[in-house]
Amino acid sequence: MKDLKSKELKDKSVPELEAMLNVERANLFKARRDMVLRQLTDTTSLRVRRHNIARILTVITEKKRGAVNV
């Protein structure tokens, strides 16, 4: 699991970001399930996924507010 960069996210459109958000949330759900079933060995991936979701949500909010204020 790689850490997403803000620069990469700002280049994408809102629908692309929302699609990425859905994928990240699904992956986080699967990782949590695997952790409960003791199949997950890399627990740091949970933290990275949560931070990625937060970054995506932040960029989506910035883009939506920027479109309203312009």
Secondary structure in 3-state letters for 32-67 = HHHHHCCCCCCCHHHHHHHHHHHHHHHHHHHHHHHH
CB 47 within 8 A of CB 1: no
pLDDT of residue 69: 62
Q: Indicate the average pLDDT of the chain.
A: 90
**CATH (residue range 6-69):** 1.10.287
- Taking the domains of the chain in order of start, what are their residue ranges? 6-69
Question: 57 vs 70, which has greater pLDDT?
Answer: 57
pLDDT of residue 12: 94
* Other C-beta atoms lying within 10 Å of the C-beta of residue 20: 20
- pLDDT tens-digit readout, 34-62: 999 998 888 899 999 999 999 999 999 99
pLDDT of residue 66: 85
- Evaluate if pTM is beyond 0.85: yes
Mean of pLDDT values over 8-35: 94
